[in-house]
Structures are given as C-alpha cells and as structure tokens.
Amino acid sequence: MGPFMAVFALVFLAPIAYSIYISLFKTRLIGGTSFVGLENYQQALTDPNFWDGLARVAIFLVVQVPIMLGIALLAALAIDSGRLHAAGFFRITIFLPYAVPAVVAAIMWGFMYGNQFGLVGNINEAFGISIPAPLGPDWILASIGNIVTWEFVGYNMLIFYSALRVIPSSLYEAAEIDGAGQFRIIRSIKLPAIRGALVIATIFSIIGSFQLFTEPSILQKLAPNAITTFFTPNYYAYSLSFNGQQYNYSATIAIIMGLVTMLVAYVIQLRGMRKES
C-alpha cells in the first residue's frame, strides 16, 4: 500500500494540488508575483472569452456526441446481427480511423476542407458550385465535429460490440421462441444489456468534448480568424500560458474546466446507472 500511495500522490495528486496552489497567485511582467486568493477565479467567471469557449464545447457536446454514439451503436448492432457479409472487414474499417493520430487526422481533413486548393475547392471548380466554406466561421465547429466523429465512431462501436458479444445466445433463442422480432430483441434485450457500455462511452465522449484541443489547434493555421485563441477552454488555457505567460490564470481555467467536466460526467453517471440497479 505504501509504495502505491506514494506513486499515486506524486503522479496524480501533486500536479492537481500544485495547479490549485499557483492559481492563487498572479505573476505580472511589472511587479512580480503576489498572492491574490480567489481573484483569478473571480476573473474567470466574468471572463467573456472563457464563457464563449465553454458555450462552444457545450453546443459541440449536445450535437456531436449523440450523433457519434448513434452511428457507433447502429454499426455495432449491424455487425453483431450476423446478417452482414464480411462483418470483420467492416469492423476493422470503421475502427481504422481511431488508429490515425488526431494530429494527422486534423491535417488530412484540413486539406480536404480547403476551398482554395483542397478537395472542397476542386469540387467547387469541377461542378461550378460553391459549397459553404468548411473552414469559415459558420461551419468550422461542424467541420471539427465531423473530424471527431470520424475519429471516434470506431472506438465507441468496439465498446458496444464487445458488450453485445457477451450477451448469452440462450436469451435470443428464448426470445425467438416467444416470437420476438429483431427490433423487439434490440429494444428489450440488447440495449438494456449494454446500458453500462453506453454510459461509459457517453462519459468518455463528454470528457473528450470538454477537452477539445488538438483539432482546433491544428486547423487554426488554416482558419486563423475563425478559430480564436479562446475557441475552446483548453485552447484558451494553452494560449494564455504560452503566448501571454499568464500561467496562474491558465491554471485557474484548467481547474474550473476540470470541475465542470467532473460535474457533468457525474450527473450523467447518476442518471445512467439509476435504472440499472
């Protein structure tokens, strides 16, 4: 127990404690460091940039997560149904994007989204049409949602699929004897059986949404004005720290985001697990 606790404290608790500690200070270019108590927190809660970023990831979460999990669930059910030819091929193909590093995926999609020389540009030119610019301010969030969905559908599908595989086949046989159709089996056997997996996948996706960083920071070069320095709270914390040397304030933003994420994940877990027991 001793060694474990030591490692646990050093690796997990120390960084958090340290971040909280430095969030109580303020270092200025003129005047040095001073203790400011909760002033940074007060500032964050009234900072329009922080709320703007938070609102953006909230919208992202509400729209992108259901779409992604819906697609993943459909794919898992389809592959599990046994009615698909070459199910193994589909399983690996849908999972493949997850093996592509997020940075590479963002760069790749960035090239496709380009309306000057990218794929979108080529399509516009070939058909003489004008697709709304995916990297423009109106579509950028949807474009990022598309990348994230592409990356993580396979991962979630695999979670659902493995949960579906452990359902005893005797249940299906019994249901068939009772005259249940495929949809009835899905609704009454499969979905209730994988509830735990659904909740876990939802919680992971929520955390992922709140931590949105890689895709915007890569696409930022291609869509410099549409992606501001406070596009997502994480990106804001990064910008504050690395461009503005506002380390204390950056730590404050990070801690507030950690709390928000924990709170939302906790609520989802409570709601998701309640009916199960």
Partner 1 sequence: MMYTSRRNLLRLAGAVGVASVLAACGGGDDSGTGGETVSADDVTKALEEGGELLVWSWDTTIAPTAQAFMTKYPKVKINVVNAGTNQDQYVALQNALSAGKGVPDLAHIEYYALSQFSLAKNVADLSGFGASAYKDKFAPGPWNAVSANGGVFGLPLDSGPMVLYYNKEVFDKHGVAVPTTWDEYYEAAKKLHAADPKVYIASDSGDAGTTTSMIWQAGGKPYTVNGTDITINFADAGAQKYTALWQKMIDEKLLSSISGWTDEWFQALGNGTLATLVVGAWMPSNLVSGSPNASGKWRVAPMPQWEKGGTATAENGGSAMSVMEASTRKALAYGFLDYLTAGEGVKTRIDNGAFPATTADLNSPEFQAKEFEYFGGQKINEIFAQSSANVVPGWSYLPYQVYANSIFKDTAGQAYISSTKLADGLKAWQDASVKYGNEQGFTVK
List of residues contacting partner 1 (CB under 8 A): 10-11, 14-15, 18-19, 21-22, 25, 27-33, 49, 114, 116-117, 136-137, 221-226, 228-230, 237-239, 241-245, 247-248, 250-251, 254
Minimum distance from CB of 113 to partner 1 (Å)?
12
Minimum distance from CB of 75 to partner 1 (Å)?
32
Q: Please write down the HEC assignment for all residues of 247-269.
A: HHHHHHHHHHHHHHHHHHHHHHH
Closer to partner 1 by Cβ: residue 28 or 187: 28
Minimum distance from CB of 246 to partner 1 (Å)?
8
Minimum distance from CB of 55 to partner 1 (Å)?
16
From residue 102, alpha-carbon distances to 97, 98, 107, 115, 195 in Å are 9, 8, 9, 22, 28
Q: How many helices (H) and strands (E) does the chain have?
A: 15, 2
Minimum distance from CB of 242 to partner 1 (Å)?
5
Question: How many CB atoms are closer than 10 A to CB 234?
Answer: 20
Closer to partner 1 by Cβ: residue 202 or 246: 246
Closer to partner 1 by Cβ: residue 33 or 93: 33
Closer to partner 1 by Cβ: residue 132 or 196: 132
What are the beta bridge partners of residue 35? 25
Q: Name residue, tokens 């709390």.
A: 259
Distance CA 69, CA 93 (A): 17
Does residue 216 contact residue 235 with C-beta atoms inside 8 Å? Answer: yes
Distance CA 238, CA 245 (A): 10
Distance CA 246, CA 135 (A): 29
H-helix or E-strand spanning residue 127: helix 119-127
Closer to partner 1 by Cβ: residue 89 or 117: 117
Minimum distance from CB of 137 to partner 1 (Å)?
5
Closer to partner 1 by Cβ: residue 25 or 90: 25
